[in-house]
Amino acid sequence: MRLRARLWLILYSMAILWIGIGIGIRINLHRTAIEIDNTQAILAFNRLLEGRRLELLLSKGCLEAAKEKVDIRIDHALRSTLMIVTRIC
């Protein structure tokens, strides 16, 4: 093979590799974005459900039970935040 042909083959191979990597990154980012959207939707729905449960308890006059649920929720949120901060540091 001549030198010029080898050079073109190498350049062509590198271009194909570069395009393939770019497409792979875009597909991966798209899938990640979909997973993040789904997770956020689930978290928002769960928050709505919890709000309705608290409304129900408050409408029945169960102030202590509602306060206990809020306290438990705050404890869980603090623990989760602490675990995340601990992992980062």
pLDDT tens digits for 31-45? 999 999 999 999 999
Tell me the pLDDT of the chain averaged across its residues. Answer: 89
Q: Residues 49, 34: contact at Cβ < 8 Å?
A: no
Q: Residues 69, 62: contact at Cβ < 8 Å?
A: no
pLDDT surpassing 80 at residue 85: no
pLDDT surpassing 80 at residue 88: no
Position 56: which residue type? L
pTM more than 0.85 = no
pLDDT tens digits for 50-76? 889 889 888 888 888 888 888 888 888
